[in-house]
Structures are given as structure tokens and as C-alpha cells.
Amino acid sequence: MGTNSPPRREPLARGPHEVYFKNLSKQKQKEVMEKNGNNHKLRVCVATCNRADYSKLAPIMFGIKAEPQFFELDVVVLGSHLIDDYGNTYRMIEQDDFDIHTRLHTIVRGEDEAAMVESVGLALVKLPDVLNRLKPDIMIVHGDRFDALALATSAALMNIRILHIEGDDVKTRDYIVALQHPVTTDIKHSIKMFELTLDALISFNKRTLVLFPNVDAGSKEMVRVMRKKGIEHHPNFRAVKHVPFDQFIQLVAHAGCMIGNSSCGVREVGAFGTPVINLGTRQTGRETGENVLHVRDADTQDKILHALQLQFGKQYPCSKIYGDGNAVPRILKFLKSIDLKEPLQKKFCFPPVKDNISQDIDHILETQSALAVDLGGTNLRVAIVSMKGEIVKKYTQLNPKTYEDRLELILKMCVEAASEAVNVNCRILGVGISTGGRVNPREGIVLHSTKLIQEWSSVDLRTPVSDALHLPVWVDNDGNCAALAERKFGHGKGIENFVTLITGTGIGGGIVHQHELIHGSSFCAAELGHIVVSLDGPECLCGSQGCIEAYASGIALQREAKKLHDEDLLLVEGMSMKKEEVVSAAHLIQAAKLGNTKADSILRTAGTALGLGVVNILHTMNPSLVILSGVLASHYVNAVKDVINRQALSSVKTVDVVVSNLADPALLGAASLVLDYTTRRIY
């Protein structure tokens, strides 16, 4: 967090911008210059008022300077650049090898509303002489602060074209960057928020870089609050008046969190995926990325402290809502397109605005929840699942046989559950879908399914569900979801390497290695049910022979139970079946418990097959934990342990084998797809 002297900023002539413009044909360059008459160079005045707007204007200035055949650059410096208390930041401009044509002292000290008005008036008095002397074809102004207002007003009234812009890619995350300014429309409240922020940061006890506020009214009072709380002498804090932009960007890019109300938090920081806590109302109305958590108001430090606990150390997807790094080429291209012969007329260019997907702390304090969808061979289930793994509400329907009916029912049940979430004070963060078959989780597509779910191949689940609910959607294989459920809520919590085996209608599973789920190169990892344990074993639904699933799945046990029943060898004393009752695996298990030796032999063979499969997994992945999940898990656990003791290498015999304690791993796993992502951002 040091602030060493920055290296000299290199002009953009050595970057991609020069390449972009050199790719313009000489003929095109000639056409542009001829359009403006007699090869007239465009005289561009860039006016910069403070360190923040210079950081946005500097790349454009470099681009203009790199093309002298097109442009003449005049730099006007005013505002807080020239104030010692704010670091005399005009030196940054000189260090970047720009000639400053005019320095205007326009700030009336006082840092209150009246001083801001007087500063605007002083700038309006001084600027006309400068503009008359420079006679620019166009003035570039950044932002919407009071000093920019004076610039834009002067240029507009003197019929000078204005290019008004707002705002490019430059991992310890163990520190916080705090940057908070006074809100001129409610100074008293913003100072109170700043005081609460400092209290929360002191309580949070992380290394923090605090930047002094800007020159707006109320800044003196905020500095007094900093000094009253001893921030400048606190061992966890470093308070600075100015950090060069190059260093500042590096600091926020690698920070564990940024907190405050600076526009940088809602704009530039999103490009790095750094978590941001936006305080108060200063940025209200601006589009923000999902990395931004809003604390609109606070009476105590608790709400801000809670936001710090939620945000610190996360890594969000990088956002491009405020640009893709190509702003300078676009601006210069626009400048070259200006026809000076056209009459002056104000024009507005608005980029498309996307839905705001950021979060608000008041919403967070509701029960953060997920919609979980479980697509089984028999039933289709949807549930509201809280962050703690509580199933708040559950809906169950028979799984339709056709694709159209199934998708229609999924959407209907999800819409109903999402509506009910409001009534039970749950905030739905997204939808997680667990389904049988091979799934591409990156695209949310079921590539192909098991024979248990018909008409379920090459199915895009993410798009229709997301479109209907306006929520993010995650999709994965049911075995992988079971592993995620264990990682978040079950025996796998905090375990670096473990394997989950589902023992139900089929046999599936998921592998967690170094805390992360393994999908494989073609999304076929952890098809544990199809580990072959016998070359001449029974036929499996996959078409092969001797798979674990062919021995130990519910379907396999049902098949063997039917054989015994057809030979009148299933029922023993204490058992009875109705004439129309379908023979199931449950009957086989009941018979074995009541002393049926043939049924018991079938179960022991199934347990041995499963155990051999687990031994193969131990020898391949070397997990520290094996979790047996599903309705048959408790019947197999002892058999699996026995096989490990007999067959496994001594170095892996110490593995723990446990039965899952989760009541509904399928739904919890589907919910984990959402909850893991929204809390960790690395799934």
C-alpha cells in the first residue's frame, strides 16, 4: 500500500490506440482533413479541474498528442489541481509531458455551498479571456461537478463545440480502499455516514487506505471527523491526500473491497471485479454492476459492518458496462468526423442502459435464498432454499414425459415459487437446476440425458428460465449438485478433497478437488456409476456390462427382486404384497432384514460392487472423505468400508466413509449452484 513515485506514464503512441489509427488508410485521413477545409487541424482544448477527471482525460490527451497531423492540443488547468491541500496535482500533468497553456485559480476556499457558487462565478469570469485567446474548435469536458459546469457554460455561450464525457485493463485482497466525499445536497447526513463508515472500518480491523475527500462543501468537516477518530495515527490506516492515478487503479484492482461514494466505485472498479460498498445517495441513478452493494442509509455502524463482512475478499466477474477499454479510439474517431462547416447544435449520445443488477444491503438483510429445481426420473420439484440450507417452501409435481410439457411446468412452478418468496420475506438471488444426464454448466445446456428422463437432450434450460424470471440461472448434473450440497451444508464443508456417491434409482456422484468441483474436459467427470467392476457382470442401462450401477442402483435391486418374486423366493414370514403392488428394491431390503438369505446375498454383492468402485476412486483421486448419499446409502456403508479394508492400498485405507446427513441433497445442491456463486464468485 505504499505510494512510491510513479514511473513516467508512456504515451499511447506505443499502445493499441496508435495501431488502431495507423490502420486508417492514407486516403481516409486525407478525406477527413479535406472535409474541414485546407487541411485545418482540429484545435482541441482539454480542461481538467481535479485528479479524478484528469485520470479519465489523460488517455484522450495522449491520443491527441500522438497525432499532430490531425490535432493541436491546448491544456487548461483549474480547480483543485492548483491547491496545495489537495496535493498540487497539476504536477501529474507536467510529469506526463503535457504543456499547460493556462492555469486558472478558480477555487474560493470555504468548502461550503456558498464557496462552491462563488467558485463557479470566478471561473465564469476568467474563462472567456482564455477561450478568446486559444480559439479552440472543440472543448473536452469531463464529469458533472460544479467546476465542469463553469467550463461547459462558458464554451456553450461562446459557440464552442463541447465533447462532454464521463469516463480502461490494467491478487492480495487483504486491504480496503476508502474514498468518501461530502454530498452537497445533504452535508450533515453525509458527514454522519462518514463517521459511521470509519467506526465500521475500525471494528472490521483490516488494513485500510483512506483518501481525503474532494474540495466540495463539507470536506473540512469530514477531515475533522478523520482526525477526531485518530485515523492518521491508527496502525491499520493510511490516510493520504493524493495517490497518482496509475497507483490508485492498481490499489483498487487488488483491494479486498472499496468503500465510499466515489464514482470510481460504480464505474472503473467494476472492470476489475473488485467488491464495492456504495454509501448513501451520491451515486443514485447511476447504473452499477453486480460487484456493487448499496448501503443507502444507516443509523449505526452495524449495517455498514455487515456489508463489509459480505463483500470483503470476494471476486466478481469483470464488468464492461462503463466501457471495454476502447473509449479513446472511439473518441478520436468521433473527433476526426467533426465537420466544422456544420451549424452548431447540441447533441446527446446515450449508450444503452442495462437492468441494474447490483444489490442493496436492505435487501440482503432479508433472507437471501435460491430457487432450487430438481428434475428426477419421477418427480419435478421446486423449492425456496435459504442461505443456511433451510427449505422454506417446496412444490412437487410428476415429471411430464415430453419436453414441451416439462419445460412449461418448470416455468409455471418457478414463477409460482418466486411470487411466494415475497410473502415469506425471501430474496431470490437466482435459480439452480439439478438434472440427470451430461450437462454443460457454462452454457446451461443438457447435452444428453439418462434413459430415465425422455426427450431431454440438447436442451437449453438457462435461457427460457432466465427470460421468464429475469434471474440468473445455473444448471448442473445431479451428482455434481449433490457434491455441492455436501460442500456447503454437509460433511464436505471445509474439506479440500472429497467424493460424493449418490445411491438411488441410479448411481451418480461428484468430485471436489482442492475445494472445487471437477467437471472434466467434456463435462463427463464423476460418472461414478459407470465404473466397471466386472467384465462379465449384468448389463447396464448405458449399454456396457459390469458397471456399479448394474449392481447397486435401485433399478438393479428392483430387477433382482423381481427375479426372486417370479420364482416365489422373495417373500418370507412377516412380508405381504398386494396383488397389484409393484415389486421394488424396498421389498428386497425388507426381505434381507427378515432373514431371506438370497435377498441378503444380492445386497452384499451390490455393496461389494459399490465398494470396489470406491477403491478405484481412492486409488485415482485419493480423497480424504467419501460421502454416501441417497436412499440406499445406509444399507451400503458397512459393506463399502469392509471392501476398502480388504482391497485398498494401505496409504488410502484411512479415508473416512460416512452417510450423508442432508435430508434433500438434490434440492440443496441445486440451491448451492446459486448460493455458492453469489457468495464466493469462483464457481
Catalytic residue set: 478
DSSP-assigned states of every residue in 599-633: HHHHHHHHHHHHHHHHHHHHHHH--SEEEEESTTH
Beta bridge partners of 22: none
Which phi and psi (to 5°) does residue 179 adopt?
Answer: -145, 105
Torsion sign, CA atoms 666, 671, 674, 679 = negative
DSSP-assigned states of every residue in 397-457: EE--SSHHHHHHHHHHHHHHHHHHHHHTTEEEEEEEEEESSEEETTTTEEEE--TTSSS-S
Which residues, 6+ apart, have CB-to-CB distance to 345 below 8 Å? none
Q: Which of 180, 192, 120, 106 is nearest to 149 (CA)?
A: 120
Burial class (CB in 10 A: 0-12, 13-18, 19+), 99: exposed
Task: Tell me if 658 sits within 8 A of 625, measured CB to CB.
Answer: yes
CA 334/CA 558 separation, integer angstroms: 72
Which residues, 6+ apart, have CB-to-CB distance to 84 below 8 Å? none
Burial class (CB in 10 A: 0-12, 13-18, 19+), 322: buried
Task: Tell me if 498 sits within 8 A of 486, measured CB to CB.
Answer: yes
Name residue 527's amino acid: E
Element (H, E) at 184: none
Task: Tell me if 269 sits within 8 A of 258, measured CB to CB.
Answer: yes
CA angle 525, 526, 527 (to 5 degrees): 95
- End-to-end C-alpha distance for the chain, whole angstroms: 29
H-assigned helices in 350-402:
361-364
- Which grid coordinates are listed for 179? 474514498
Beta bridge partners of 154: none
Q: Counting every residue, how long is the chain?
A: 683
- Using DSSP's 3-state secondary structure scheme, residue 178 falls into strand
Q: Which of 514, 518, 513, 509 is nearest to 483 (CA)?
A: 509
